[in-house]
Structure 1
Amino acid sequence: MRPDSVTYRVPVNTHAGETGRPPFDAAAARRLREALGMTPAHVAYGIAAAFGIRIAPETVASWERGESSPTEAELTALAGALWCAPGELLGAPGTLREYRLALGLAPADLALRIGMDAGAYERLEAGGTWRGNDRQAAALAEVLRLPLPALLRFTGRDGKLAELLTSAATTRWQAYVRPVGKLVPLPKQQLQDVLQDLHGEYQRTMAATLHWGDGGSAEESGRAGRAFLDDIVAEFWARAGGQER
């Protein structure tokens, strides 16, 4: 079958930010295509021939202009046509689904590899609550190559971390080295340094707004303190070397 003999479906102009669409990197798609010396028509033909997904060259061009984005199945097919990994066509992953797509894994395949029921995994990816055990969490991190901040977020433990960090910043930080260490397996000395730093920064924030010369007030101090605590998990990762904002 030749490129000019393919029957195309009507292109669907779905914007990149629409729910259910991967975070597509339009510039990367165009760069990879041009590096192979291909036209949008060649790409559309390759997708149809190898994956049975019939799209118009105009749709490929629309993806590259950022006017629309491929579905998950189209993204996998596009990666195959461009001889690249799906992750090369995505922006930085932020959701569990995006981490999975970056590796070109189907939901059922990932669920099998981490020892979880496929339905339970799909509910998790759709925004459900993590119901897995520690072994499954470790497998999820390994398979998807998750950074530690992302693992805690996806398994619902970032809320507990926020509670511990808040207490460490507002009371005696020394008492929270071990509890935080159970959630975040970092060297003890590093945890001590980070918790002490957070505690000191919080205290300085509170004191600065109460300085007589600045005409501060208890209300201003409270607002500043709450703002710091609201962002304390991000502050922790920034100091611990695992930034995820």
Structure 2
Amino acid sequence: MRQPSAVPPPDAPPPFDAAAARRLREALGMVHGNVAYGLNAQYGLDVGPDLVAAWEAGLRTPSSREVTALAGVLWCAPAELLHAARTLREHRTAHGLDAADLARRVGLGVDAYVRMEEAGKWRGNERQSAALTAELGLTPAQFMTAAGRDEELAELLRSAVTTRWQAYVKPLTKMLPVPRAALEGGALENVLLRLHADYQSRMVATLGWGGGVGDAGDGAAGREFLDGIVAHFWERAEGTR
């Protein structure tokens, strides 16, 4: 028996920027009633002036659909009404796309895409990953965060800088299908070499100072470096372009 298609669950509230909404409205010389009228007349949303005011006060958060409509009324891009996006859903909302539209553009069934979005884990192949990156305008770092791969990346990088980094070139190349082109021609090797040297220099300083008390002596500098390893990686990767 054929299973019915999954109905996409209601969107979690997007990272709405209340101050930006108020600023954009005031720049257009509009009051809350004008915005509410536009949402009703242009988009068929049952939104009153009090709800618009509550959005701007941070007391209520509009849905993804409402953010897209509000952007239309305020003559701006949805992204201008959001804080920095991190998840797939937040990036999609920032581009004013619904799940079905984005799924079609990247070559996925809507049910499969919605499951990935809800789980916070992107499972698309290399071609689909490239399409997703293009549709949402993601940088390599944004893609990895939205795909839910930051912790996996961190684990590989920590191993690379604390042991033999050369052994992790292939695993990292396989893991980074989207940024691979940006890190080809020995660039990835150079990034790992620099990360390894930076970490080892911190640990050598620890040993050289006799392991005494303090940031260097107790290894805190090395631990701090490992805690921020993903950020360090992208900083050096950007420097190779």
Mark yes or no: TM-score above 0.5.
yes
Q: The residue matched to 2:142 in structure 1 has which SS?
A: helix
Change (3 A) 1:114 1:179: same
Q: Gapped runs of 5+ residues in structure 1? A: 1-18
- Native 8 Å contact 2:203 2:222 kept in 1: yes
Q: Distance in 1 between the 2:229 and 2:170 partners?
A: 18
Task: Give the partner amino acid of 2:192.
Answer: L
Radius of gyration: which is bigger? 1
Partner in structure 2 of residue 39 of structure 1: 31
Q: The residue matched to 1:141 in structure 2 has which SS?
A: helix
1:204 aligns with 2:201: yes
Match of 1:23 among 11, 15, 19: 15
- Native 8 Å contact 2:212 2:218 kept in 1: no
Q: Gapped runs of 5+ residues in structure 2? A: 1-10
Q: Distance in 1 between the 2:98 and 2:129 partners?
A: 18
**CA RMSD across the alignment:** 2.6
Partner in structure 1 of residue 112 of structure 2: 120
Q: The residue matched to 1:220 in structure 2 has which SS?
A: coil
Number of equivalences = 223
Write out aligned runs for 1:118-157 (5 A). Answer: 118-157=110-149
Shift of 1:120: 1.3
Q: The residue matched to 1:74 in structure 2 has which SS?
A: helix
Change (3 A) 1:137 1:205: same
Change (3 A) 1:59 1:156: closer
Shift of 1:226: 4.1
Q: The residue matched to 1:188 in structure 2 has which SS?
A: coil
Shift of 1:235: 1.4
Write out aligned runs for 1:1-245 (5 A). Answer: 20-182=12-174, 183=176, 184-185=179-180, 186-213=183-210, 215=212, 220-221=218-219, 224-241=221-238
Q: Distance in 2 between the 1:32 and 1:126 partners?
A: 31
Task: Give the partner amino acid of 2:189.
Answer: Q
Percent of residue pairs bearing the same amino acid type:
57
